[in-house]
Structure formats: C-alpha cells, structure tokens
C-alpha cells in the first residue's frame, strides 16, 4: 500500500446511498495515493458495500454516501475490525438489495479512512482502494452482506513490450486530457510520478470519464497486458469521439463567426451607402423582385403606400434578421392577392338554366331564385343584395348547387367549411405580432381563387361554435353584410379588401341553428328532401352513370329494373337526400366489378326488387307502416326530422288510479305541455262528447310514444294527442289510414305547423291516404309536388271538433267503412279549396 501525494480525479456521480443521488464530489474529498509500498494484511472475509454507477480502483481515494441499512452495518463491522471493506459495482443501479447475480464478480478491497454522519440517516465514508479481488462466496450475517474474496496481484513485469504499451497509454491519456474540457491539466504532471505499470493502469483508468460497463473490464483483467489492452482500447475510442466533437464545435463556431462578420460588414456597407446617397446592394434579389411586382401591378392607393413602407423596412433590415422573414411573408401575401383581377361573367340565363338542369334534378324553387339573381346581376352589372343560404337535410345537393352556379357564371369556385370553427382569427386572421401569423380563411380562399369575384361557399354555417377566443359568427357579419364588406379588413393584412364582387353562398342543415344576426342578412332558400320518384330519377340519370365510370364498368355490365331502384331506396336507405343511395349503388358496382375480374360473372347484372337482397344482404331499413286495423286510444301523428319526415304513434293507457298523468317516450318540455293542454281541452269538453267526469277522476292516464331512445319535442302533436285521448275516453277507434298534425290551444283552435312537405312524404311512405292539417297551412298545398297531392287527400281544419269528426269511427266499429272513389275526390277538392 502507498502513501504518496494526492491528485484530484473527477469521478462520475456516486449512487451509493439508499434512495439518494449525489451530483458532485469535492476535489479535496477524493484523490490518488501512489507512494511507496506498505504491506497490509487483508482478511479473507470482508463486509460488502455495493456501489451504484462507480468503479473504485486500487490506490484511489473516494468518498461514498451510504444510506442502505446493510451498507451502514457493513461499515460499522469494518470499524470494529481491520477497517477493511469490499466495494463492488452492481449491474442494475436501481436494485436496492442486489443479490450475488446482481453484482459484478470483481471489485476492490478498500480501507475506511474517515466517517462523517450526515442528516437524514446518511453517512459519508472516505475509502482508499487497496487491491483487486474477486468474490468467491457471499453470506448474509446480522442484516448485512459479507463475501469471501480471492486477491488478484498482477505480476509486475518491466519487459520492452510492457514499457512500449505504457508509453502508448500515457500518450493516449495526454491526448484525452487535452481534448476533454472536464479534466484539469494538473493531472498530466502527476502521471510522471507513477513508475509502476500496474499503478499506471489504475491511475489512468480512474480518470477516464466513462460508465461502469466501460471501466469494469479494466478492473476484471487479471494480467497486466490485458489491463493495458482494455485501457488503450477505451482511450482510442474516447479520443476519436472527442476529436469529432471538437471538429463539429469548430465548424459551428466558424459558421457563427462568419455570419457575425458578414452581418457586421453589411451594416457598415449600408451606413456608407446611406452617407453617399447610393442604393444598397440587394444580395438576395427579394427587394428587386417586390419592387418590380409593385411597379408592374395594379393596386389600390392604400396597398401601394403600405407596400412602399414594407419595402423600405426590408431595405434597411439585415437579411439574417427574423424581422426580414416576417416582412417577406407579408409582401408575398400582398402581391399574391387578386386586387384587380376578375373573371368575366357569363350572364346567359338560358345557358345557366341548362347547366343547373344538367347537374341537378328537381329543385324548381331554388333554381328559379338563382336565375332571378343572375338576371338582376345582368341588368345592374353589380349586385349588392342579400346572401343566398341553402337550408336542407344532408345530401340534397346544397354544395353541388353552389358549384353549378359558379360553372354557369364561369367564375372560380372555392369552398371552406365553418363546421367546428370557434376562433374569430379563422375569419379575420391573426395580427402580425404573433409568431406564425397568417390571414384568415376569407383572404386565403381569395388567393386560391386568383380572382376578386369568385363564388365562395361557406359550408355548414349552422355548426359554428364560440369560446374564449372570440365569436366567428360576429366576424362573419362584416364579410356577409353587403353594406360593410366593400371595406373588409383582415387583421394580418391591415388593408381594406373589397368583397362586394364576391358571390357568397352559405349552406346549413337547420335554419334555427344559424346565428340570428347572420340569418337576418341572408335570403334562405329551403331545399326539401327528395320524393321517391325524384330519387329514382336522380339515381338513373346521375348516380348510376357516375359510379359506373368510377368503377370501370359499362352500361352493359350493370342495369336496374323499374322496381330495382325503388327496392334499394326503400329497403336500404332512410334519408332526405341521396348520399346513402349513392353508397349503395357504389357497393353494387364494387360487387359486380369483383365478379367481372374473377371471371365468375360475364352476363349483364340486372338488379330487381326480387334479387336486390342477394347482392346487398338483409335490408337495413324497417319502414314504419300504418297499423293494419283502427285502434282504440292510438292515433298517428306526423313529425319533421333532420333527414326528412316521420310518423309518430301516440298510445294511451287508462287504468284505475288517482287521476295522474304519466308521459314516456323521451318527450321534450314542449311536447309534454302539449299533452297537458290536450287533456285539459278534453276535460273541458267532456260533456259534449258524453264522457263522465268520474272517468278522469278514477283513472291514471299513461301517454307513450314508441321508439323511446329517440328524443321528441315540438307543439305540432297537439291534435294527435287530443285525438288519442278522446278515443280512449269515448271508446271510439281512430282511423288507421289517416294521419294528422297541428298545434292545439285550450279553446280547441288548430294552429299552423312547419315542415309540411317532409311530413306529407312520411305519410306516403307509411301507406297513409289522408292527412289532417291546420287551415293556415292550406295555402302551402299548391307548392307541394303534384305527386304528393295525387297520393294524399288533405283536410284543412281550424277546430279540434273537425279533427275528431274526421278521425274517430262510430262507437263499436272496428274496421274502416268502405269508401267510394268519389269520397276521396271530394276530400282532395276540399284540400285544394
């Protein structure tokens, strides 16, 4: 053992204490002892201290922070005896109580020099490495670990090979210290004091900043040659990495220095040129490019002034400055917008009508309004009227109708969806003070269109939202208001852009969800759902040819019979539009294409009402049909839904009770109020219909509307509820071929309703032949499709008394009376009246 002068190695952080991590070791607390040899007696069994992330070599003085109970007991045991412990690195630093397999086989016998107790039950132990050793056997004794060891004493050889290897190691270590900024140069002076090769190996290895996996092989090598080989290999690899790091750092430093030098010289040139009154040198060419765009383009006066201002900023701003990039992006947007470029309108009304008919079947009223709009545009050449808003269920052609308008006018068409937009900046843009700022969607789409008078479709305007970032609906007011949009100012551009020549078209599914301020500025055109015969025509003329082309098929490959389309529509779709219908036609095309490619189908496929199930499987839709027989305490109502119309079955259950009213079927507040109003009306008029008062007092009434998972609300079921209640109270059955709709007052008046067309279509699908409706809605009958008026007989009424006369059968009758055709014609004539 030795007692020489101490050096100051910089070991890696020690993880010796239980649950603690120590980030530094003070230089005066660690060192190196390489003085003259002293003989020390080492016991064959020593207390064990496992180490985390550190390897201790012989002659190395190192502080350990110990917190594990077993390690503390090992130190106490050592202090009682020879003050010797065995320190060995553990393989997994996270292992709290490592077993024999969790430790490396070789470690170091160390002598305890000093102990210092610290707070939190931690002790600091200064140890000095004495000799290499390996573990023979491990024992658990009194809560600590002890090991039987085998000492390893490398043979000191002063052969020419060992001397040459030592010189190589010293030179590599000198290079390592020079390249590594974490090691002090004083270490190199200490290495000259080491004369023994075995001590030299341990001295250099202790100062190499590396992990346990790299340093442990040097400790485990038992021959001196093997120790030097492992050491030189580690040093060569480290020196190569450090050389590469220094090269990269030098390149980065040179690049930064060059950039700073160029910036300094450019600033000097700018100052000199400014003093001489000369133009600066535009190295990137951006200034010249923007100047040329400004001189050759046609821009409003405000835009020219703003562009000149930004160009002057660009001229005096260094090219490498972040502000220069912001200015360039802004100028790119300014010069990319169509300030003066516009499309030449094609105002041929006959051609526009032809294009609309080519692209869409039906939609007579929307087409008429569009043609009126174009006619006025042709007369005045500049239209500042209301914005068109198409309202209707999904799949009825709102978006494609806007595209057809653009095609008929020969204008550019752009569309952007407002669904889910909740930030005002989406419309007006972000101010340039924000990183990554850009214009709003209106300006972006004008750039995409390339003209100042495109057709811009604002889709799903009823699905906008708002939050803490602002209300996009309020930002749209300026865009859609004809009195304001001639000076629309985007936050990013901070320039007025004239939107008065843009034709804005909006779409929505539900008019009630459109913000009122926007709704007031738009002309709403309803696009109702398609009738069965309209869907058949659309499928035949548009959907089938398009899908045949998309799937690589010809008319000779797939065809439909007269009832084929009807079967697909009624059995596999339930919608107001035709999206699901197109998906089913596409599915049929795919199946036919597969069979054609496989060679199993060469003949033409013909889809009929009988074989459609073989191709599409079990029908998806179970159509609601009217009851087979008139029912007691049950009536049929009509409802409007987002996908068209539907029928409602009202059921009344009367049983002995306390006179309570129970409402089930997920009824909304308005419908529950309608039910109570209907019951009140019936009780007030009970004597007229010969209903005893005790009938109400001694019974609980249960009103139920089937399909309880679907929410239902609205006042138009009032007459239907009153009819079902009257049927239960009088014992007279309700006709099963008749449906009704209308709001009921306490005085028995029948008030107007909405969605008449959708409700009439639902009645036809259910097999209903007659419909009761409010007198106020009679004027809408003339606008219904002739096909609807042929299939339904309408009965306009103004009082509930008229409803019951039409709906209730005579007491005791269980079937409908035989009606002559003349009666049906009379009813139809009353409806037209």
Helix (H), strand (E), coil (C) string for 238-275: HHHHHHHHHHHHHHHHHHHHHHHHHHHHHHHHHHHHHH
DSSP label at residue 13: P
- Of the ranges 21-25, 76-80, 103-107, which one carries the lowest mean pLDDT score? 21-25
Q: Is the dihedral of CA 667, 672, 678, 683 positive or negative?
A: positive
814/794: higher pLDDT:
794
Residue 436 to residues 63, 433, 552, 787: CA-CA distances in angstroms?
53, 9, 45, 57
Strands 605-607 and 558-560, bridge-based pairing: parallel
Q: Which residues of 723-792 form beta strands (DSSP E)?
A: 738-740, 743-744, 750-751, 770-774
| pLDDT above 70: residue 347 | yes
CB 393 within 8 A of CB 577: yes
Reported as a pLDDT band with limits 50, 70 and 90, residue 37 is: low
Strands 503-508 and 387-391, bridge-based pairing: parallel
Number of residues in the chain: 833
Reported as a pLDDT band with limits 50, 70 and 90, residue 384 is: low
- Average pLDDT value for the chain: 82
CB 395 within 8 A of CB 577: yes
Q: Tell me the DSSP string of 630-694.
A: -BTTEEEEEEEETTEEEEEEEEEEEEESSS-EEEESSB-HHHHHHHHHHHHHHHHTTTTTT--HH
Reported as a pLDDT band with limits 50, 70 and 90, residue 282 is: low
| pLDDT above 50: residue 758 | yes
Return the H-helix or E-strand segment holding 364.
helix 364-380
As a dihedral over the C-alpha atoms of residue 28, residue 33, residue 39, residue 40, rounded to 10 degrees, the angle is: 40
**Token representation of residue 390:** 């198409």
**Mean pLDDT on 811-826:** 58
- The values of phi and psi at residue 246, to 5°, are -65, -35
| pLDDT above 50: residue 318 | yes
Strands 750-751 and 743-744, bridge-based pairing: antiparallel
814/97: higher pLDDT:
97
User: In which region does residue 655 sit, left (phi positive, over 0), alpha (psi from -120 to 50) or beta (all else)?
Assistant: beta
Reported as a pLDDT band with limits 50, 70 and 90, residue 366 is: confident
**Token representation of residue 293:** 């765009």
Reported as a pLDDT band with limits 50, 70 and 90, residue 819 is: low
Q: Within 13 Å of residue 371, how many CA atoms lie on the same side as its CB? A: 16
Reported as a pLDDT band with limits 50, 70 and 90, residue 385 is: low
**Token representation of residue 492:** 């990013």
Classify residue 805 as exposed, middle or buried by CB count within 10 Å of its CB (0-12, 13-18, 19+): exposed
pLDDT one-digit tens code per residue, 608-648: 988 988 888 888 777 677 888 888 999 999 998 766 688 89
Which residues are the active-site residues? 716, 759
Rounded Cα gap, residues 324 and 266, in angstroms: 14
Highest mean pLDDT among 163-167, 505-509, 783-787: 505-509
DSSP label at residue 37: -
pLDDT of residue 239: 85
Residue 335 to residues 324, 328, 499, 503, 703: CA-CA distances in angstroms?
17, 11, 17, 23, 68
**SS3 per-residue string spanning 432-493:** CCCCCCCCCHHHHHHHHHCCCCCEEEEECHHHCCCECCECHHHHHHHHHCCCCHHHEECCCC
End-to-end CA distance of the chain: 124
pLDDT of residue 533: 81
DSSP label at residue 558: E
pLDDT one-digit tens code per residue, 680-702: 999 899 888 888 878 888 788 99
DSSP label at residue 192: T
pLDDT one-digit tens code per residue, 237-272: 888 888 888 888 888 888 777 777 766 776 676 677
Return the H-helix or E-strand segment holding 134.
strand 122-141
CA-based nearest residue to 300, from 502, 499, 498: 498
Reported as a pLDDT band with limits 50, 70 and 90, residue 573 is: confident
Which residues have a Cβ under 8 Å from the Cβ of 792 and sit 6 or more positions away?
Answer: 760, 763, 764, 768, 769, 770, 771
pLDDT one-digit tens code per residue, 437-489: 889 889 999 999 999 889 999 988 888 877 666 678 888 888 888 778 888 88
CA-based nearest residue to 405, from 418, 417, 421, 387: 387
CA-based nearest residue to 87, from 74, 96, 97: 74
**Mean pLDDT on 523-542:** 84
pLDDT of residue 646: 85
Residue 164 burial (CB count, 10 A): 11
- The values of phi and psi at residue 794, to 5°, are -100, 140
């Amino acid at each position: 053992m030795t007692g020489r002068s101490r050096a100051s190695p910089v070991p890696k952080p020690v993880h010796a204490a239980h649950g603690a991590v120590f980030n530094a070791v003070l230089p005066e607390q660690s060192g190196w002892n390489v003085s003259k040899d002293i003989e020390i007696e080492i016991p064959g069994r020593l207390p064990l201290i496992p180490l985390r992330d550190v390897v201790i070599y012989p002659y190395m003085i190192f502080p350990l922070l110990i917190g594990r109970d077993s390690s503390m007991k090992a130190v106490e045991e050592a202090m009682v005896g020879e003050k010797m412990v065995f320190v060995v690195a553990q393989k997994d630093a996270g292992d709290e109580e490592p077993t024999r397999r969790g430790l490396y086989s070789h470690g170091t016998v160390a002598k305890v020099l000093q102990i210092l107790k610290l707070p939190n039950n931690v002790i600091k132990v200064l140890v000095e490495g004495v000799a290499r050793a390996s573990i023979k056997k491990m024992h658990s004794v009194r809560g600590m670990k002890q090991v039987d060891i085998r000492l390893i004493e490398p043979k000191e050889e002063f052969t020419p090979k060992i001397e040459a290897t030592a010189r190589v190691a010293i030179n590599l270590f000198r290079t390592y210290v020079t390249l590594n900024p974490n090691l002090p140069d004083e270490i190199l002076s200490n290495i000259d004091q080491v004369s023994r090769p075995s001590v030299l190996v341990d001295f250099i290895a202790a100062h190499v900043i590396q992990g346990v996996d790299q340093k442990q092989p040097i400790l485990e090598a038992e021959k001196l040659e093997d120790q030097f080989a492992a050491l030189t290999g580690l040093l060569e690899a480290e020196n190569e990495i450090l050389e590469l790091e220094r090269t990269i750092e030098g390149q980065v430093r040179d690049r930064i220095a060059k950039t700073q030098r160029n910036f300094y010289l450019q600033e000097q040139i700018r100052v000199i040129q400014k003093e001489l009154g000369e133009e600066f040198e535009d190295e990137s060419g951006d200034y010249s490019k923007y100047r040329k765009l400004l001189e050759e383009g046609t821009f409003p006066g405000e835009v020219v002034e703003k562009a000149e201002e930004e160009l002057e900023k660009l001229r005096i701003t260094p090219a490498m400055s972040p502000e220069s990039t912001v200015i360039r992006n802004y100028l790119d947007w300014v010069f990319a917008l169509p300030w003066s470029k516009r499309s030449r309108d094609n105002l041929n009304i006959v051609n526009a009508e032809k294009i609309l008919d080519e692209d869409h079947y039906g939609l007579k009223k929307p087409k008429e309004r569009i043609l009126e709009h174009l006619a006025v545009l042709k007369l005045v050449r500049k239209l500042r009227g209301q914005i068109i808003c198409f309202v209707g269920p999904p799949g009825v052609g709102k978006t494609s109708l806007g595209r057809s308008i653009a095609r008929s006018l020969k204008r550019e068409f752009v569309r952007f969806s407002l669904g889910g937009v909740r930030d005002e900046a989406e419309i007006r843009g972000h101010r340039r003070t924000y990183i990554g700022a850009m214009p709003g969607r209106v300006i972006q789409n004008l750039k995409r269109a390339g003209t100042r008078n495109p057709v811009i479709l604002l889709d799903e305007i009823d699905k906008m939202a708002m939050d803490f970032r602002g209300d996009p609906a309020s930002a749209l007011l300026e865009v859609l208001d004809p009195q304001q949009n001639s000076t629309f100012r985007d936050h990013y551009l901070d320039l007025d852009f004239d939107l008065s020549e843009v034709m804005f078209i909006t779409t929505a599914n539900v008019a009630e969800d459109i913000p009122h301020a926007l709704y007031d500025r738009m002309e709403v055109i309803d696009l109702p759902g398609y009738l069965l015969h309209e869907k058949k025509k659309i499928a035949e003329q548009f959907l089938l040819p398009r899908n045949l082309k998309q799937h690589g098929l010809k008319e000779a490959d797939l065809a439909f019979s007269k009832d084929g389309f009807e079967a697909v529509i009624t059995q596999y779709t339930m919608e107001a539009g035709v999206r699901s219908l197109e998906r089913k036609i596409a599915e049929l095309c795919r199946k036919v294409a597969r069979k054609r490619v496989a060679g199993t189908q060469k003949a033409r496929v013909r889809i009929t009402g009988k074989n459609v199930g073989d191709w599409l499987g079990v029908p998806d839709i179970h159509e609601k049909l009217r009851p087979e027989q008139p029912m007691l305490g049950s009536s049929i109502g009509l409802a409007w839904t987002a996908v068209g119309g539907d029928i409602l079955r009202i059921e009344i259950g009367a049983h002995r009770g306390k006179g309570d009213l129970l409402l089930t079927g997920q009824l909304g507040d308005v419908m529950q109020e309608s039910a109570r109003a209907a019951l009140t009306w019936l009780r007030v008029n009970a004597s007229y219909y010969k209903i005893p008062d005790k009938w109400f007092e001694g019974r609980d009434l249960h009103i139920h509307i089937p399909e309880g998972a679907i929410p239902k609300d609205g006042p138009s079921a009032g007459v239907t509820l009153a009819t079902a209640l009257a049927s239960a109270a009088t014992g007279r059955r309700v006709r099963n071929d008749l449906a009704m709709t209308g709001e009921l007052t306490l005085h028995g008046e029948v008030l107007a309703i909405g969605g008449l067309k959708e409700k009439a279509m639902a009645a036809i699908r259910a097999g209903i032949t007659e419909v009761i409706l409010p007198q106020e809605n009679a004027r809408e009958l003339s606008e219904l499709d002739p096909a609807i008026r042929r299939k339904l007989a309408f009965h306009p009424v103004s009082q509930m008394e008229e409803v019951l006369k039409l709906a209730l059968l005579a007491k005791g009758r269980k079937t409908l009376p035989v009606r002559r055709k003349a009666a049906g014609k009379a009813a139809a004539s009353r409806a037209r009246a």
